Amino acid sequence: MPSLNANGIRIAFDTAGDPKAAPLLLISGLGLQLGAWPDDFVDGLVDLGFYVIRFDNRDCGLSTKFEQAGTPSLGLAWLKRLLRLPLKPPYRLEDMADDALGVLSALGIARAHVVGISMGGMIAQLVAAKYPARVLSLTSMMSSSGRRGLPGPSPALRRALLQHPRSAADVDAAIEHAVRTFQMLASPSYPTPDKVLRRRVARAMRRNYCPGGVARQLLAVAASGDRTPQLQSITAPTLVVHGAADPLVPLACGVDTAQAVPGARLEVIEGMGHDLPGQLLERLLALIDAHAHGKMAPDSTPRLFVKQ
């Protein structure tokens, strides 16, 4: 796996497609490695004429870990956030946005289409806000503005996210816990077979397992707060994609994101949860293709994709 130096850290990455094609940067979500983007999805983007770049966020996969910062108490961090007390994370989402831009710079890419999912959508939003000259288009998927008052995950799902096996060395237990969590996040109308899900999780966990990194990333999300002012400054053409059945980042978060970005278009997919099911990849590819090539008129009115 190749790696590069960016923003003072080492970042693992891979690319697919013709380097002379339109660059498209994929930014993964909380605790997800670059392989979380399905190969069929990446191949589809290449077939559409994109040069696709994936990378491991800091504290994840084969990129630099911040173990020296320790593993934060997420319960305490959650309480502090509720009480509006300051949080002191080892890094913030803004730093992760700088990492993403650093990947493009290290690869000699001046401008790119940027696509982020969940936490990666938050990072992508900040890349577009901080570096408008570097972003051709923004696609924020199943993400949020971070504005206070927006609905959050159910208590059961929140507990699952805050828990992890007692021993970081017990990879098998970590796989079982991750499978159960992903099952809770899954799209109700587009289920992923358990065997396929388990194989994906096991492959990722055996590549790298860093529960402390997930906790530090989650603390970065909590500490970064409301990004509405940054969203309001975005000038790149913006597409917001959200599942109507998202149990982690409810649809209201996607609606709020689209309303905050000038001229953003919101696409709501019925029956979609907080994952990338194989049954929807063709639909998602079509949306990104149309958006990146300017075939979508700016519109904040939801376009519903209903399962046939």
The whole-number pLDDT of residue 305 equals: 45
In the chain, which ranges are continuous DSSP H helix? Answer: 39-47, 74-82, 93-106, 119-130, 155-162, 171-185, 194-207, 211-224, 228-232, 251-260, 281-292
> What residue segments make up the domains of the chain, in order of their start?
3-305
Query: Taking the domain 3-305, which CATH number applies?
Result: 3.40.50.1820
Q: pLDDT tens track of the chain, all 308 residues?
A: 899 999 999 999 999 999 999 999 999 999 999 999 999 999 999 999 999 999 999 999 999 999 999 887 777 776 676 667 778 889 999 999 999 999 999 999 999 999 999 999 999 999 999 999 999 999 999 999 999 999 999 888 888 777 766 666 677 888 998 999 999 999 999 999 999 999 999 999 999 999 899 999 999 998 988 999 999 999 999 999 999 999 999 999 999 999 999 999 999 999 999 999 999 999 999 999 999 998 775 554 444 444 43
**Confidence at residue 172, expressed as pLDDT on a 0 to 100 scale:** 85
Q: How far apart are the first and last CA of the chain?
A: 40
Q: What is the pTM of this model?
A: 0.93
